[in-house]
Chains A and B, each alone.
Chain A
Amino acid sequence: MDFDEVFAPVARLESVRLLLAHAANEGWPVHHMDVKSAFLNGELQEEVYVEQPPGFVLKEHEGKVLRLVKALYGLRQAPRA
């Protein structure tokens, strides 16, 4: 399997401190938001297949696998998808 790039785009804490200092300087309020289940939002660019999960096997397609459209937790590509 080709993992391509697997780094996650993240802010450095130094940048966060500069952002806070700048906000304090300007008297701006700082708000906070959080993405629910961020990893499940990413669209995959690569072809990744999973086995059918136990209990969710399609009848008459028992031998087949599923192709992922979106990222899953545990996937190497997930942090940047």
Chain B
Amino acid sequence: MYFRGEGTRRLVVGVYVDDLVITGGCSSDIDKFKSQMRGTFQMSDLGLLHYYLELEVNQSERGITLGQKAYTAKILENAGLIGCNPSCIPMEPRLKLSKASTAPGVDPTAYRSIVGSLRYLVNTRPDLACSVGYVSRFMEKPTTEHLAAVKKVLRYVAGTLDYGCVYTREKEAQLVGFSDSDHAGDIDTRKSTTGVLFFHGKNIITWQSQKQKVVALSSCEAEYIACTAAACQGVWLTRLLSELKGKPEGAVRIHIDSQLAIQLSKNPVFHDRSKHIDTRYHYIRECIEEDRVNVASVGPAEQLADILTKPLPRERFCELRDKLGLVKIK
């Protein structure tokens, strides 16, 4: 990303190999930049952004939408699931799969290809992050059980083809994060899953659902590891946003639903239950001390990152999907 100018004359350019995305407050500055670029390189001017790296972008007075309908249809076609019976959720709650499944094996290449294409779809679909992350754990030696879980995801996708993110105008938008974790959800390793989510105002920016790298001995520790992941992401986003705006951003707030993890993040006292936690996970303390991050408590019902840590029952899943701001794009 490159920047120039200030205030309403701010010009921002994002570069992806040979694709340039240009935005700014002054349209004559944009035109000037474009003609400078044309003078230096052979460029095609594609006008307003509407298609970028398989992302369909729509700009209107009401805001910007981001979807992958055509790409999704292509995935379903490749998987031979066009016209299948849609499902309301991407994964059954309480579904537990193991790497050591004794069911008959399936073609690993086909499995990896479908899961790989679903992973790219997660770029506009936070509702899929958890289920796609889960089926990705079985790439090495997939069986019919694992493939059945992938098909469930695909059947959910088939019913939600035109869902995507929407970005609307909002005054005084702040970066807000959520971090959550399950505990020992992976039955092969007993590792937990981190869920981290960031909004800019009401607009959802980033999400991650990731198996933790170490075994957490308690749910508090798992939550603590998750909130450190959130702190890393939050610090990076704050830096990027202040570059975009051309002025410094304040501390980013992260919502956590574990009181113990909050205490642990603020209190530099070590006791028997926390003394084993690896130094790297105490990064959150440093961030809080330096006032780059602050943590706030949130009730379990309002913990939006819940959707990234485990498969949820239909009602809760749809409630959170709405709260993330995921909508059907017209």
Number of contacting residues on A, CB 8 A? 32
| CB of B110 within 8 Å of the partner chain | no
Q: How far is the CA of A33 from the CA of B37 in the complex (A)?
A: 9
B123 contact set on A, CB distance < 8 A: 13
- Taking a contact as CB atoms under 8 Å apart, the answer to whether B203 and A21 are in contact is yes
The residue from A13, A21, A26 contacting B25, defined by CB atoms under 8 A apart: A26
Q: Which residues of B contact A11 (CB under 8 A)?
A: 1, 14-16, 21
Neighbouring A residues of B37 by C-beta, 8 Å? 33
Interface contact B47-A14, CB-CB below 8 Å: no
Q: Is the CB of A14 within 8 A of B206?
A: yes
**Smallest beta-carbon distance B37→chain A, Å:** 6
Cβ of A27 under 8 Å from chain B? yes
Residues of A1-37 contacting chain B, CB below 8 A? 8-11, 13-37
The answer to whether A31 and B18 touch across the interface, beta carbons within 8 angstroms, is no
A45 on the B face (CB < 8 A):
no
Is the CB of B142 closer than 8 A to any CB of chain A? no
Q: Which residues of B contact A20 (CB under 8 A)?
A: 57, 64, 66, 167
Question: B35 to chain A: closest CB distance in Å?
Answer: 11
Of the stretches B240-248, B254-262, B278-286, the one at the interface is B240-248
Measured CA separation A17–B45 after assembly (Å): 21
Partner-binding segment picked from B48-56, B76-84, B131-139: B48-56
Whether A25 touches B57, Cβ cut-off 8 Å, given contacts A32-B49, A35-B43, A37-B42, is no
**Which residues of chain B have C-beta atoms less than 8 A from A25's C-beta?**
167, 169-170, 173, 200-201, 203
Quick check: B27 and A27 within 8 Å, CB to CB?
Answer: no
Chain B interface, number of residues (Cβ within 8 angstroms): 53
The CA of A18 and the CA of B244, in the complex, are separated in Å by 9
Residue of A21, A29, A30, A38 near B18 (CB, 8 A) is: A38
Contact of A17 among B12, B42, B165 (CB under 8 A): B165
Q: Report the bound CA distance from A34 to B43 in whole Å.
A: 6
**Is B22 a contact partner of A33 (Cβ separation < 8 A)?**
yes
Complex Cα–Cα for A13 and B21 (A): 12
A23/B43 in contact, CB under 8 A: no
A30 touches B21 (CB 8 A): yes
- Given the known interface contacts A23-B64, A31-B30, the answer about A10 and B23 at a Cβ–Cβ threshold of 8 Å is no
Nearest CB in chain B: distance from A9 CB, A: 7
The interface of chain B, by Cβ under 8 A from chain A, is 1, 12, 14-25, 27, 30, 34, 37, 41-50, 52-53, 55, 57, 59, 63-64, 66, 123, 165, 167-170, 173, 200-201, 203, 205-206, 237, 240-241, 244-245
30 contacts between A and B (CB under 8 A): A8-B17, A9-B15, A11-B1, A13-B55, A16-B55, A17-B66, A17-B205, A17-B206, A18-B237, A18-B244, A19-B23, A19-B244, A21-B64, A21-B173, A21-B200, A22-B241, A22-B244, A23-B167, A25-B173, A25-B203, A27-B169, A28-B24, A31-B21, A31-B34, A31-B47, A32-B52, A33-B20, A34-B46, A36-B44, A38-B18
Chain A positions near chain B (C-beta within 8 angstroms): 8-11, 13-38, 41, 79
Additional A-B contacts beyond A13-B123, A30-B23, A34-B19 (8; CB < 8 A): A11-B1, A13-B55, A14-B205, A16-B16, A21-B203, A23-B23, A31-B47, A31-B49
